[in-house]
Amino acid sequence: MDIEPITQEEFEALYVSRARSYDHSALSALQPMTGIKFPCRWKHRAMGGCSGHANIHPRARRMGFRVNCTCRDGTFYVFRYE
């Protein structure tokens, strides 16, 4: 196995592309009292629980706002409050 050096730009491009998914970008642009919906990409437990809630709520808190979200029929809905 060959070990190759990389630049800071190469590393940051990989990190940013992984961390900034399309739903993260849409969530960060969400204005108060508006909502978005997108296809759900998270796993669902047998009892119907979606792990998207555990992903979206902390992200919104880090951005300084609160949201309510639900997953219905393969679509994930997010609504931002003031």
Burial of 47 from C-beta contacts in 10 A (0-12 / 13-18 / 19+) = exposed
For residue range 12-67, list pLDDT tens digits in order. Answer: 776 654 445 667 778 888 999 999 998 888 888 777 678 888 888 998 999 999 99
Q: Where in the chain are the domains?
A: 22-80
- Provide the pLDDT for residue 16: 53
pLDDT tens digits, residue range 61-75? 999 999 999 888 888
The predicted structure's pLDDT at residue 23: 72
Q: pTM of the predicted model, to two decimals?
A: 0.69
